[in-house]
Structure 1
Amino acid sequence: MLAAIVAVPTGAAAHRDQEPTVIGHRGASGYRPEHTLESYRLAIAAGADYIEPDLVSTRDGVLVARHENEISGTTDVSTRPEFAARKATKTIDGVSVTGWFTEDFTLTELKTLRAKERLPLVRPTNTVFDGRYEVPTFQEVIDLAKAESRRLGRTIGVYPETKHPTYFQSIGLALEEPLVRTLKRNRLTSKKDGVIIQSFETANLRALSKVTDVKLVQLLSSAGKPYDFVVAGDPRTYADLAKADGLKWISTYADGVGVEKNLIVPRDSTGKLLAPTTLIRDAHRTGLIVHAWTFRAENQFLPADFRIGTDPNARGDLFAEFALFYGLGLDGAFSDHPDVAVAARVGSR
């Protein structure tokens, strides 16, 4: 069974001429509350090549790092009586969401909040850091990457994701203009600079391809479709974009794809791995790099083949999962546990 799983489609590994890129997913979020400077700092210390801030906007148009614009799960806002009246229900990408939203806070107000662990039942040890850290701005993340690059003598890249770009455009807080402006201010403007912009939508990446020369990556999920396709009435889904013709189209405006792991190695109904698809080979044939998300150590996030024991929150064999994907020619990995990604990369040489 395992021999069939790890068989490499022809040409997949041959495309890669350097070792896989390790991206600290929201920092080292397996060990610290996500999207905090401490999480990013720890990811860098673990050897990550890039740190990943998801970007949303404040009311005054400042880009900050949060997984979502709704922040009750990642900050202490729900315990702050001075902001109780800010609770609202909004429709985000067609889904009704109730909570507190970054676009209803100025940066000054947002800086009074403190971050907390988003998955406290899964990662209870991370909760000891609740209340310690601020919500960082995109500029602060860049400043950290620059400072650590100088200190370590190696380039630490930033890999920002534009979150809900159609929604933010609709409320007059488009993410793209301040993103490009910030990059220009920091002299991060070319493909050789340590910046990769990613998005689950296509329209904003296509627009960005005309105003910046930094690398762009189209994110692909195993289900659904880009929300800009929903708005435009485009019938294509993420599954369509993951096919050879879809990848060829993506290559007209992007440098790579960031794909959900199951699009590369599917799982059956019991969570066991099936044979790999040809996605990596197909993407490489169009000149696209392939990064995959999200690699996490806990059993509940791993395929059944690599789980250890029955506790869903216990750590399984994440090293083995990395070995499998690196062997298939994967160009990079988003991981909550970048230390394991780095260790497996060394082992795959």
Structure 2
Amino acid sequence: MFSTRLLYILAVVVAGTVGSLLVMQLWGSRPLVWTTPATASMQTKSGWNTLSGKPPVLVGHRGEKAFMPEHSRASYWQAALEGADYIEPDLALTRDGHLVVNHNEWLGDNTNVADIPSLSHLRTNKTWLDNGRSISVTNEWFIKDMTLAQVKQLRIRQDPKFAWRPQHFNDVFSVLTFEEYLQIVRNLTVDIGRPFGVIPELKSPKFYNDGRSYPRYFEDRAILTLSHYEWAEVSVEVNRSAHADLKLQPLRALPVGVELGPSAWQSFDLDTAEYLSAHTRNVPIVALVETLPWVFTPGGLDKLSKFAAIISPWKDFFVAGADNVLRSFNVTWDSEEIKSLGGFISPHEFAAEAHRRNVSISPYTFYDSHQPMAYLCQQDTSLGTFCPTDKQAEFFYFFSLGVDYMFVENIVEARLLREQYANQVVA
């Protein structure tokens, strides 16, 4: 018998789920026409090219943001109902030390904070360093300046830049704490009857650690919370005394026969990634990489493989190549250093090179088909030997490369394309 909670979940998200299924019927009726010089040899009925030999794992990017306000309770529910393998939260830290879930360090893009007069005095400008790059944001409300009580006054909205996304649930759901997210996934595991992976990303750790009692406050707080909810085991002791104020809810035992899904850490800050790797056991590290040239060389992969089980680059590195993508980000590099590390790996060989080091690959982000795919080759066709023209071509290309994980939006769409590829290309 369905629980009351599950019936409520179904009632809230059924409209979005049915809509996504109707969209996918269009994909199901389309003929498969796809080949490229770089990957034609990979199109053989010989199984998946992933490190495990299994189909790629689909990560619900910020839940299911194609239909629900991102990182909301409903976004996580819908991601689960649509069959995501992992459900992703982004972590931030309030002024009074609470871990909350939000993608940006600020709140104006995706909440109603501008409509709350009592919070107007918190609007400000900030500049900080993130992986060596200076980030400046003006006229915004920052999570690190707000208490949890203030953050809990807010309601989440769809980003107005994406007007095609359903707006029905704007201003309904509050910003979640990390603990609430973990409780939701545990409950979904029980109610739906299958495990879901948790894959928290620690956003801008140095930004959030600034002004704290010690420089790993953010990381240790996240470790202790994930450990309490049985998704992590502390392997090297952390500074527990600095977190005596961390009051987590008593843990309810899972029903007999119910098991939690896997967990993984994510961070663009590789110092943080190494720290998380050293202090937790059986929690793979996802090294998010975008603006570090050395990463895209054989020597760079050798270095990352010492602590990262999964490498997650922006997806265009697999299409336009490292040199073109880095130039588009205005990133420069020392040519002699790159040469000494073995040179940039070609885009269609990067996944295979990672696999040779027993490292998985997880490109990001595969958008809903209403949204432009955002490849450089769509403005300049000379960049790369292949340029996807639609969602099917995009997904089939990455499947052929052997990517192991994919951060996706519109999970139903992604699942159907994965199924099509399995039926038509894989044995």
* 1:300 aligns to 2:354 (yes or no): no
Letter of the aligned partner of 2:82 in structure 1? A
Mapped partners of 1:79, 1:302: distance in 2 = 32
Other-structure match for 2:358: 287
Which residue of 1 is the match for residue 239 of structure 2? Answer: none
Distance 2:355 2:180 in 1: 34
Assess if the C-alpha contact under 8 Å between 1:50 and 1:157 holds in 2. yes
Task: State the alpha-carbon separation in 2 of the partners of residues 155 and 208 from structure 1.
Answer: 23
Is it true that 1:182 corresponds to 2:232 in the alignment? no
Q: Aligned match of 2:191 in 138, 146, 151? A: 151
- Do 1:6 and 1:328's aligned partners in 2 also have CA atoms closer than 8 Å? yes
Between the aligned partners of 2:320 and 2:80, the Cα distance in structure 1 is 30
Instruction: Work out the CA distance in 2 between the residues paired with 1:209 and 1:125.
Output: 37
Residue matched to 1:140: 180
Does residue 250 of the first structure (1) align with residue 250 of the second (2)? no
C-alpha deviation, 1:332, in angstroms: 1.0
**Structure 1 position 157, deviation (Å):** 1.0
- The CA deviation at 1:16 is 3.4
Determine the C-alpha separation between the residues in 1 that align with 2:229 and 2:190: 15
Q: Distance in 1 between matches of 2:147 and 2:108?
A: 16
Distance (Å, rounded) in 1 between the aligned partners of 2:42 and 2:219: 37
CA RMSD, aligned part only?
Answer: 2.7
Q: Write the letter of the residue equivalent to 1:178.
A: R
Alpha-carbon contact 2:354-2:360 (below 8 Å) kept: yes
Mapped partners of 1:294, 1:190: distance in 2: 29
Listed one character per residue, the Cα deviations across residues 46-94 of structure 1 (whole Å, up to 9, x for unaligned) are 1101111111011111111111121111111111110110111111322
Matched residue, 2:273? 205
Preserved CA contact (<8 Å) 1:196 1:215: yes
Aligned-partner SS, 1:126: coil
Aligned 8 A contact 1:30 1:123 in 2? no
| Structure showing greater Rg | 2
Residue 336 (structure 1) aligned with residue 409 (structure 2) = yes
- Paired with 1:92 and 1:65, the residues of 2 have a C-alpha distance of 20
Percent identity of equivalent pairs = 29
Q: What is the CA-CA distance between 1:144 and the residue it aligns to?
A: 1.2
Matched pairs, number:
321
Distance 2:155 2:146 in 1: 14
Cα contact 1:319–1:341 (8 A) shared by 2: no
Q: Give 1:216's aligned residue.
A: 285
> 2:101 matched to 1:101?
no
* Structure 2, gaps ≥5 residues long: 1-33, 235-259, 326-345, 379-388, 423-427
Q: How far apart are the structure 2 equivalents of 1:338 and 1:175?
A: 30
The alpha carbon displacement at 1:318 in A equals 1.9
| 1:40 alignment counterpart | 76
1:278 aligned counterpart, secondary structure: helix
**What code does the residue aligned with 1:177 have?**
D
Residues 74-113 of structure 1: pairs in structure 2 closer than 5 A: 74-93=110-129, 94-98=134-138, 99-113=140-154
Distance (whole Å) between structure 2 residues aligned to residue 337 and residue 319 of structure 1: 13
Q: CA distance change for structure 1 residues 125 and 17 in 2, over 3 Å: closer, same or farther? A: closer
The 3 A distance-change label for structure 1 pair 8 and 105 is farther
1:81-120 CA distance string (max 9 Å, x none): 10110111111322221210111111111111001112x2
Distance 1:69 1:305, change over 3 A: closer
SS in 2 for 1:300: coil
Looking at structure 2, the residues matched to 122 and 89 of structure 1 have their Cα atoms a distance apart, in angstroms, of: 25
Check if 1:326 corresponds to 2:416: no
Equivalent residue for 2:108, pick from 53, 64, 72 = 72
AA aligned opposite 1:320: A
C-alpha separation between the residues in 2 aligned to 1:183 and 1:107? Answer: 19
CA offset at residue 303 of structure 1? 4.6
Distance 1:190 1:280, change over 3 A: farther
1:326, 1:124 → 2: CA distance? 27
The answer as to 2:84 corresponding to 1:51 is no
Tell me, in whole angstroms, the C-alpha distance in 2 between the residues paired with 1:187 and 1:240: 35
> Distance between the aligned counterparts of 2:161 and 2:126, measured in 1?
27
Looking at structure 1, the residues matched to 272 and 360 of structure 2 have their Cα atoms a distance apart, in angstroms, of 19
Q: In structure 2, do the counterparts of structure 1 residues 14 and 204 end up closer, same or farther at CA, with 3 Å as the change threshold?
A: closer
The one-letter amino acid of 2:143's match is: T
Partner of 1:230: none
User: How many angstroms apart in 2 are the aligned matches of 1:342 and 1:8?
Assistant: 24
What residue number does 2:203 align with?
A: 163
Note the alpha carbon deviations across 1:199-227, whole angstroms, 9 max, x for none.
11100111111110111110111xx3xxx
What code does the residue aligned with 2:289 have? Answer: L
1:231 matched residue in structure 2: none
